[in-house]
Structure 1
Amino acid sequence: MQGDHLALDLAVTIRHDGHGGVADDLAEPAGLTGWVRAHARELAPDLAAAGFTADPAALAAAVEVRTAIRALFARAVLPGEPSAADAGRLPSARLALDRLNAASARVPVAPRLDWPEGAPPAAAHTVPGAPPAADRLAAALARHAIAFLAGPERELLRACPAPRCVRYFVKEHSRQEWCKPSCGNRARVARHTARKRAERA
């Protein structure tokens, strides 16, 4: 089952850095530029075209939406533990909902009917006017998050329990416990080491 995972992809731009810390792929506008270009298909074509370059306003908007998403992901995985990167660092779920909905409302979207000659009619959406790129980006990201959180895959969302991992993932099969095989290996090594210490004690 593969749904709208753009919100998940945005959430995991906070990740384990491989050295016991946390890395932020969106620490600078250049990181957001690369991320938006890599997700061109999922984002609005005018926004995600190869020429998109993030500025500080777009970065701030994207990070605010990401923070709201991670707060709502922490709520979604309850009663399980949230990501270790999120514990005590996120706004309340109520504030996160308000921020996400406000971001979605930054840019109105109007339904549009396209009906090319010799082809069936098709519904599309258009953005009236020329809102700033930061608003278009925030609205697009928020709408993807709303689709994910209101959809069936929210029930399959998990925080990876592997040592030092801070990622969320969608559980794709009943035996999946970690976001990636490397996290599973790290968890097994940690359990083995803990058992050996307990035996020596």
Structure 2
Amino acid sequence: MEETVAADAAEAALPPAPGADRHTSLDFADTAVTLPAGQGYDLLSTPGSAMRWLRAHGLTTPDVRLYEVCAQRMRTMRGHVRALFAARVNGTAPPEESLRAVNEALTAVPTAPLLAWDGAQGLRRVQAHPTDQAVNHALATLAADAADLLTGPDAGLLAACGSAPCDRFLLRTHGRRHWCSTRCGDRARAARAYARRISSAT
């Protein structure tokens, strides 16, 4: 059952939104989306699908196993990241609980590789990544990326998809147009053309 749900979600998933290749947190925020006709998907809906998403983004190792509590933590953090993105897009104050959640994730674990020594390899940088802290590390990395996006040069490009009911985020690439995918752009253009026909017919 879990595999079927995950496979259906992956099949329905839209391609990554513009900017997701530069900011993993943008792709993370877009792991759940509302589609037309009351449909949608959630790529973090099960531990298995959450694990596949983390692996695909290089945020965990094959020896890690996720449980429902871990997937729930990821979904909760996604909600906070989305709230911060929405506040930035709308020009409003971000929710205090979302700021607190991202800051807690940022400080929960070291995100910079640590300095280590062994006789065979000498000094080297290693990422502290014990399996029992895997989700903490992933969330810290995603929180850091979200903070960088919200405070960096791309912050002004952050937008919400302009084709309702889609609720994904993206970085604008072409002037004022802001659709997360060709599918959403086509739907928006079709809706405008239909509205023009109706208007001219009355």
Q: TM-score range by the shorter chain?
A: 0.7 to 0.9
Alignment of 1:13-162 (within 5 A): 13-17=31-35, 19-40=37-58, 43=59, 48-79=60-91, 93-109=95-111, 112-113=114-115, 124=125, 126-127=127-128, 131-162=132-163
Q: Please identify, of 26-35 and 51-60, the stretch whose mean Cα deviation from structure 2 is larger.
A: 51-60
Secondary structure of the structure 2 residue equivalent to 1:198: helix
TM-score (normalizing by structure 2): 0.75
Q: In the TM superposition, what is the alpha-carbon distance from 1:173 to its structure 2 partner?
A: 3.1
Q: Please identify, of 170-179 and 62-71, the stretch whose mean Cα deviation from structure 2 is larger.
A: 170-179
Amino acid across the alignment from 1:15: V
CA distance in 1, matches of 2:130, 2:51: 23
- Aligned residue number for residue 200 of structure 2: 199
Verify the 8 A CA contact 2:105 2:136 in the aligned structure 1: yes
Secondary structure of the structure 2 residue equivalent to 1:158: strand
**Structure 1, residues 69-100: CA drift from partner, whole Å, max 9, x if none?**
100000111249xxxxxxxxxxx522110011
Q: In the TM superposition, what is the alpha-carbon distance from 1:110 to its structure 2 partner?
A: 5.8
CA distance in 1, matches of 2:179, 2:112: 40
**Structure 1, residues 142-194: CA drift from partner, whole Å, max 9, x if none?**
12222222211111000011132111101123254211122111001101111
Q: Cα gap change, 1:147/1:55 in structure 2, threshold over 3 Å: closer, same or farther? A: same
Verify the 8 A CA contact 1:71 1:96 in the aligned structure 2: yes
Q: In the TM superposition, what is the alpha-carbon distance from 1:109 to its structure 2 partner?
A: 4.5
Verify the 8 A CA contact 1:107 1:136 in the aligned structure 2: yes
Residue 188 in 1 paired to residue 200 in 2? no
Q: Cα gap change, 1:30/1:193 in structure 2, threshold over 3 Å: closer, same or farther? A: same
Residue 8 in 1 paired to residue 10 in 2? no
Q: Cα gap change, 1:114/1:21 in structure 2, threshold over 3 Å: closer, same or farther? A: same
Verify the 8 A CA contact 1:33 1:54 in the aligned structure 2: yes
CA distance in 2, matches of 1:107, 1:114: 17
Q: Structure 2, unaligned stretches of length 5 or more? A: 1-18, 118-122
Amino acid across the alignment from 2:40: V
Secondary structure of the structure 2 residue equivalent to 1:77: helix
* The structure with more helix, counted as a fraction of residues: 2
Verify the 8 A CA contact 2:80 2:98 in the aligned structure 1: yes
Secondary structure of the structure 1 residue equivalent to 2:159: strand
Q: Cα gap change, 1:4/1:185 in structure 2, threshold over 3 Å: closer, same or farther? A: closer
CA distance in 1, matches of 2:114, 2:134: 21
Q: Cα gap change, 1:196/1:129 in structure 2, threshold over 3 Å: closer, same or farther? A: closer
Verify the 8 A CA contact 2:47 2:68 in the aligned structure 1: yes
